[in-house]
Structure 1
Amino acid sequence: MVQISVILPVYNGVSTITDTINSVLGQTFQEFELIVIDDGSTDDTVSVIETIKDDRLRIHQFENAGQGESRNRGAALAQGEYLSFIDADDLWTPDKLESQWQALQTHPQAAVAYSWTDHIDENNQFFRAGPHLTFSGDVYKKLIISDFVGSGSNVLIRKAAFDEVGGFAPHLTPAEDWDLWVRLAARYEFVVVPQVHILYRTLTTSSSFNLAKMEASSVQVMERIFAQAPPELQGLSQLCRGHRYKYLTYKALDLTPQRQRARAAFRFLALALWYDLSLWRRRVIWKVLLRATIAVVFPRTWVISLLKQQPKPFDIEALLFHIRFEV
């Protein structure tokens, strides 16, 4: 009997798809189906998937429509009472589904279970820890302030709740995860499983993260949030925008430094400081300014060498941890 439907959208994921699928098929919880949505891949992704023989695995091919639509397509095909999504380059620990399913059995009033996330590199090696927060129950206000869930590979959702709120909004990619969590939290409780179950892949040699697209979709999500939020939560707008621009600042300067992305970081930081005045008191802003400045002024190879030799003065991790959830 299928209890959980796992949805795996993939587009040209030949290099990681086998590891991702194996991390799903290796779950201790066995009553699931794995629905792979091929989003118009042009490489050998489908051929690779077809070499994996497991009765729980089904492949459906569509023309390219993006991740949000692919997730919705998978959900429409799902037979399970619960839905979980995993991106084609992420991994799960073996007890992910079992732990989250048990959490929802223990907390029948909750519609969403989430766990903690850590980051891995191209070689599946630990890269850095994610934020390990423990919010449960009514988390609507906290999710307005900031997306603490972290990624679409995290949650287990009751399918009835997913259907009721309308699923993912494909036009909001890549911020469609946050939009869905907020809409779910407006109606349902969440429950945390305080263990690392999601291994989010960070490509340490790449800067493919589309800053312009993420900023545009984030702005749209924030507009939707406050168009629907009750009057008593409208005052969170400044804080919400401040935190989002901190995140964008971090992403602009994370990993491989590039001159154009560093220039964007100056603008993002200015907006973060405008919206969140408390950030002026944080020493990390000087590290942000230093990291952005060297990326703009000096050759990239020199910057990479400097960051390897002297990482501490340029460490901007603290930018992500200065998030005030209590106001």
Structure 2
Amino acid sequence: MPLISVIIPVYNGEKTIKKTIESVLKQTVSDLEVLVINDGSTDSTEEIVKSIPDLRLKIFSYHNAGLAASRNRGLSHTNGEFISFIDADDLWTFDKLEAQWKALEDSENAAVAYSWTDYIDVDSKFLKSGSRITLKGDVYNKLLLYNILENGSNPLIRKEAFTEIGGFDESLPAAEDWDMWLRLATRYEFTVVPKAQILYRVSANSMSTNLKRQEVASLEVIERAFTHSKAASVQHLKKYSKAQLYQYLTFKALDAPPAKQKSSIATHFFWNCVKYDPSILRQKRLILIAVLKITLAELHYRIGCLKHL
């Protein structure tokens, strides 16, 4: 029985899957199994995976069903005591699993260990640092405000926790990882490795770039979370949770290359951010950056329209 099971969902990931798998197989913890869940790929993903000569690596191919379903399919094949997930275009530092495993061993009450994230581009070059959160123990209230783990390629989780809370919600078209972390936080403590160990790849085709879908799914996650008994005493945080979501979506819309920026959707997100938390208007630097970026996006859009006249 392996110590750790790593689940890699993939759909048409021929450009990145090999590097992702290599970053897992080169971990300082060697007692692991790597389960690639091929979600109906139509490119050479399956052939690439099968060409990697490592007995710890297995691939299971299914019809296309989405990310949440692929993660759940992976869970059904696991034999490890601990579970981790990594998307097929992300990378880990070589010591990610070992550091998180040790953090869990040192914290009997914790079922989830997370690390920090750095963001990389399509060429694996550093873009920016993620949040440097160091919360431990009961993190539910903070998770209500935003996804402190930032992405689904982050945590190491005790397998027994999934027996208690079940798998990922396949009805959610996005934000299913945030929903999972919230559900885990209702029952278990979290611990942290204060190091950047997840390299999250940002690309125009990543799921997180479908912002309207992410908005709808995230709002549903928020509504569910605040109906839980654990949130009974913090209902006042709900509007701030929505404000944080819309602030994130605003800048996500403006992070795109100029040709793909949408000033209208960014304005919609920004207006909702202010609606739920008017105090944000006192953050002058944040407001200035948002307004300037939205204005520049609108100018770029209008110039593009004139060129097509």
After TM superposition, the score normalised by the length of structure 1 is 0.89
Q: Which residue pairs with 1:271 in the alignment?
A: 272
Equivalent residue for 2:287? 285
Alignment partners' CA distance in 1, 2:180 and 2:259: 32
Deviation at 1:113, TM superposition (A): 0.2
**Separation of aligned partners in 2, 1:123 and 1:260:** 21
Q: Which amino acid aligns with 1:169?
A: D
Q: Give the CA deviation at 1:206.
A: 8.2
Counterpart of 2:297?
295
CA distance in 1, matches of 2:233, 2:207: 39
CA contact 2:239–2:277 (8 Å) conserved in 1: yes
- Deviations along 1:238-287, one digit per CA (max 9) or x if unpaired, are 11010001011111111313477221010110100011122101122122
Name the structure 1 match of 2:181: 181
Contact persistence 1:258–1:300 (CA under 8 A): no
Deviates more, 1:37-46 or 1:206-215: 206-215
User: Tell me, which stretches of 5 or more residues in structure 1 are unaligned?
Assistant: 303-327
Runs of 4 or more consecutive aligned structure 1 residues displaced over 3 Å after TM superposition: 204-208, 299-302
Which residues in structure 2 correspond to 1:64-79 (within 5 Å)?
64-79=64-79
> What residue number does 1:322 align with?
none
User: Identity rate of aligned residues, in percent?
Assistant: 49
Separation of aligned partners in 2, 1:156 and 1:115: 9
Report the Cα distance in structure 2 between the residues aligned to 1:66 and 1:205, rounded to whole angstroms: 15
Query: Do the aligned residues in 2 keep the contact of 1:144 with 1:182 (CA within 8 Å)?
Result: yes
* Counterpart for residue 120 of structure 1: 120
Letter in 1 for 2:29: F
Q: 2:159 maps to what in 1?
A: 159
Q: Distance in 2 between matches of 1:88 and 1:33?
A: 16
Q: Residue deviations 1:123-171, cap 9 Å, x none?
A: 1111111111100001011101111111000000011112211121122
User: Deviation of residue 41 (structure 1)?
Assistant: 0.3
Contact 2:208 2:214 in 1 (8 A): no
State the AA in 2 paired with 1:122: V
Measured at CA, do residues 206 and 102 of structure 1 come closer, stay the same or move farther in structure 2, by a change above 3 Å?
closer
CA contact (8 A) 2:255 2:261 kept: no
Paired with 1:257 and 1:227, the residues of 2 have a C-alpha distance of 39
Distance 1:72 1:57 in 2: 18
Question: Structure 1 CA distance, aligned partners of 2:61 and 2:205?
Answer: 30
CA contact (8 A) 1:82 1:156 kept: yes
The offset of 1:290, in angstroms, is: 1.7
* 1:234 aligned partner: 235
Task: State how many pairs are aligned.
Answer: 302
The aligned residue for residue 132 of structure 2 is: 132
**1:300 Cα shift?**
8.1
CA–CA distance in structure 2, aligned partners of residues 104 and 270 of structure 1: 41
Distance 1:211 1:5 in 2: 31
Distance 1:269 1:166, change over 3 A: same
Gaps of 5+ in 2: 305-309
Rate the CA distance shift 1:49–1:155 in 2: closer, same or farther, 3 A: same
- Taking a change above 3 Å as real, the CA distance of residues 104 and 205 of structure 1, as seen in their structure-2 partners, is closer
Residues 1:58 and 2:64 aligned together:
no
> Which whole-Å deviations, capped at 9, do the CAs of 1:290-315 have from their partners, x for residues lacking one?
2112212335888xxxxxxxxxxxxx
Give matches, 1:196-207, under 5 Å: 196-203=196-203
2:76 partner letter: A
Letter in 2 for 1:250: F
